Amino acid sequence: MEDNNNSEHSGGDSDANSKYKDENKFSKCETLDEGTFAFMHWMNSEDKKSLSFTDNPIVLLKFVNDKHTILYDTKRRTEIDVEISKGVPFCRYCKEYDCAHVGFAVCIEQLCGHHRTGKEQTVEDILEV
């Protein structure tokens, strides 16, 4: 029997499609789960301060445990403030309790524990934990 499955490689478009897939790999950053994925990607990134969309979909800028987290969304190219009030995170940019920014901020909270120091921390401070 002859195998006619040639759909895997279709000529010169494979490089263009591969690039398109890479660029869109992180394009969805809307749900809590996608925020968790962005956090894991950021933690494994070689350059945690890179504002390149393909390096880091979301970047941590500042963090004050149990108060707020300042993020940079590389797709939207804007700073995002996730405020924590009575233990409940709220994204001031999206005006939601369950967006990717909240998911990322929750991961940072879990990483750092609940110190309740009120002290602002940077990326360097967080990574020393």
Look at residue 111 in the predicted model and tell me its pLDDT: 83
Q: Please count the other Cβ atoms lying within 10 Å of the Cβ belonging to residue 37.
A: 20
Q: Please count the other Cβ atoms lying within 10 Å of the Cβ belonging to residue 69.
A: 26
Look at residue 105 in the predicted model and tell me its pLDDT: 94
Cβ 22 vs Cβ 40: under 8 Å: no
Look at residue 114 in the predicted model and tell me its pLDDT: 56
| Longest distance between any two alpha carbons in the chain, whole Å | 70
What secondary structure, in 3-state letters, does 8-56 show? CCCCCHHHHHHHHHHHHCCCCCCCHHHHHHHHHHHHHCCCCCCCCCCCC
Query: Per-residue confidence of the chain (129 residues) as pLDDT tens digits?
Result: 444 544 444 444 444 444 444 444 444 568 999 999 999 999 999 998 888 888 899 999 998 877 889 999 999 999 999 999 988 999 999 999 999 999 999 999 888 765 555 666 667 766 664
Look at residue 61 in the predicted model and tell me its pLDDT: 92
